[in-house]
Amino acid sequence: MDRLAGQISASHGRLHPAVEPFARHMIEVGDGHTIYVEECGNPEGRPVLVLHGGPGGGCSPFMRRFFDPGHFRVVLFDQRGCGRSRPTACVQANTTPHLIADIALIRARLGIDRWLLFGGSWGATLALAYAETHPDHVSGLILRGVFLGTQSELDWFYGGGAARFFPDLWARFQEPIPQAERHDMIGAYHLRLFDSDPGRQARFAQPWLMWENALAGLQSQATSHAPADYARAFARLENHYFSNRCFLDEGQLLRDRARIEHLPAIIVQGRYDMVCPPIGAHALAEGWPGCDLRLIPASGHALSEPRITAELAAVMDGVRDQDRSRKTPR
């Protein structure tokens, strides 16, 4: 979930200046996939891995700006099938375990021992799944708009829960689907997004994208079309993962939380997040001694929400300041 990276505006004054990567890589990960990886900031700095939303959202330059480039070594990558990774929109050998293996390969290839994970929405899902698999290589987690990959969350967004607040937008999402198939919107869209006709795929990608896009921001309801290639990749990958329940056991991320409870975590969660309601973030944080849940007032889901943006920037500056204070001799 979460395709909105947002545009930088005056309200985003706390962000760091835009920087260009000091290194770019195209890494073959097997199964015919090649993934795009970039490194920004300080090559000798504290490593941070940025995990984008979707699945299928890809990274954007906006995501680089949450990190002081003098302190952090920021690693971003486009997950299989999206962004600058190839082949585009490919769902073969594209599962959560594959993505976890890709992250492990990137870490080894870049010579990083432990890194901080920074992810929102589906990026938070993947951060948790990776951390629970490889806790020894994680120094902490910064999560936003938590999505645990559960059936209840999918039912909320695609089974009529969020529709109670946005009946007009839900009707628009349902409109291309015959009445007899509307009891299973993920399945109905799956048939069309994986049709043999690429044109038909593209036509159904737009309403899939627009439904999520419209609910991501608290103040605005975006209805504009995205570029066709982007929409097709995003919709196919997201639908593929959701059709397979994110390739996770039901409740897996909460079940295995004990593996990461020794790690520090901060969760930044919009109080009025309609894509990933706060109950998931609350369940994740409850009983985790080192987890700081911050419910942000008057905010929705998107990374570009002004208060969400400001809080995440402050969190990362706080991490930087703590790192520096530990290195200051007494």
pTM above the 0.75 mark?
yes
* Residue 301 a catalytic site member: yes
Query: What local confidence, expressed as pLDDT, does residue 1 receive?
Result: 75
Query: What local confidence, expressed as pLDDT, does residue 203 receive?
Result: 96
* Residue 121 a catalytic site member: yes
Which listed residue (16, 71, 240, 301) is catalytic?
A: 301
* Residue 225 a catalytic site member: no
Domain range annotation of the chain: 10-150+249-327, 152-245
| Angstrom distance (rounded) from CA 250 to CA 233 | 26
In terms of Cα–Cα distance, which of 165, 292, 290, 138 is closest to 221? 165
Give start and end residues of each alpha helix (H) in the chain: 96-110, 122-133, 151-158, 167-174, 185-193, 198-216, 228-243, 252-255, 279-285, 306-327
Which listed residue (33, 273, 299, 304) is catalytic?
A: 273
Which listed residue (68, 102, 121, 304) is catalytic?
A: 121
pLDDT one digit per residue (tens) for the chain, 330 residues: 775 444 444 345 589 999 999 999 999 999 999 999 999 999 999 999 999 999 999 999 999 999 999 999 999 999 999 999 999 999 999 999 999 999 999 999 999 999 999 999 999 999 999 999 999 999 999 999 999 999 999 999 999 999 999 999 999 999 999 999 999 999 999 999 999 999 999 999 999 999 999 999 987 555 567 899 999 999 999 999 999 999 999 999 999 999 999 999 999 999 999 999 999 999 999 999 999 999 999 999 999 999 999 999 999 999 999 999 998 654
Residue 24 β-bridge partners = 38
Asked whether the beta carbons of 263 and 135 are under 8 A apart, the reply is yes
Task: Tell me which DSSP letter residue 86 carries.
Answer: B
Asked whether the beta carbons of 145 and 275 are under 8 A apart, the reply is yes
Homologous superfamily of the 10-150+249-327 domain (CATH): Alpha/Beta hydrolase fold, catalytic domain (3.40.50.1820)
> Both tokens of residue 304?
């570009």
